[in-house]
Structure 1
Amino acid sequence: MMKFLNRSNKKGFTLIELLVVIAIIGILASVVLASLNSARKKGRDARRIADIKQIQLASELYFDANNSYPPTATWETAISDGGFMTSVPKDPLTAVSYKYILVSATDYRLGAILEDNANPALDSDADGTTTGFDGSGVDCVAAGTPATELCYDVRP
């Protein structure tokens, strides 16, 4: 009987082993999520740039038909109702309209706020500044410094 009581049939994991495994899984999950978040930012930025190019093309079609670019207050409806674009895209994260200002009948500024200030597209954009629009700014409106530039902007 004594032999039976001393016999230990230990099956399963100890609490420390389980905690170590959970900690490792947590660390791996945080690394994967951080990488995924960076990829999502880059994907949204790529979409913003593509949207800006589509809007720019629609604006050129509008110009060809009307001999001027769309007015600031109604630029989205002018492009979509005129049949130049079925619907004007909005920012993929915030669903807010892109920045647009008509400078003159033959000049405008169109911008999108990117999430990654290291995006190489920021080096080749227009960086145009007019009243109410600063293409080198962090929000396309306020002036910014090159290290914090987030406004990708184009002009005709």
Structure 2
Amino acid sequence: MRVKMTLNGKPRSIDIDPSTPLLWVIRDSFGLKGTKFGCGAAQCGACTVHVDNAAVRSCSFPVDGAHGKSVTSIEGLDPANAHPLQQAWIAHNVPQCGYCQPGFIMAAAALLKTTPDPTDAQIDASLSNICRCGTYPRIRAAIHAAARASETEATR
């Protein structure tokens, strides 16, 4: 099957088995290594990307589900790393090993689009990603900081 999508703002197409997980298309076919393989069962969230602005676990999302849609990986969130979440992640020293962080940032970005000023309970309910290093308090703090930065940016 020929799958056509927009990946990080660029039109892309590929002839591929439609059941191939989107993760492998992003990583192996298009060479973007920021999205990580974690569990392969859509449980850990390391592979989180956006498909038409919704967070999806790309390890279990078949590439044909992205046909005709816009896909954003961590590399496309903000290529200059200036997104409020990326800046807050740095400011709050969130990563420890860092492996899960691209998926967390993508899940948090999707949350902030629908809930611009989330409570801790909303963050916990929305982000089911797993961090083996246990940086959850720093993740929450960074999400709150990014929400404040986005709110400040919007009022300018």
Structure of greater relative contact order (alpha carbons < 8 Å, 6+ residues apart): 2
**Larger Rg belongs to:** 1
TM-score range, shorter chain: under 0.3
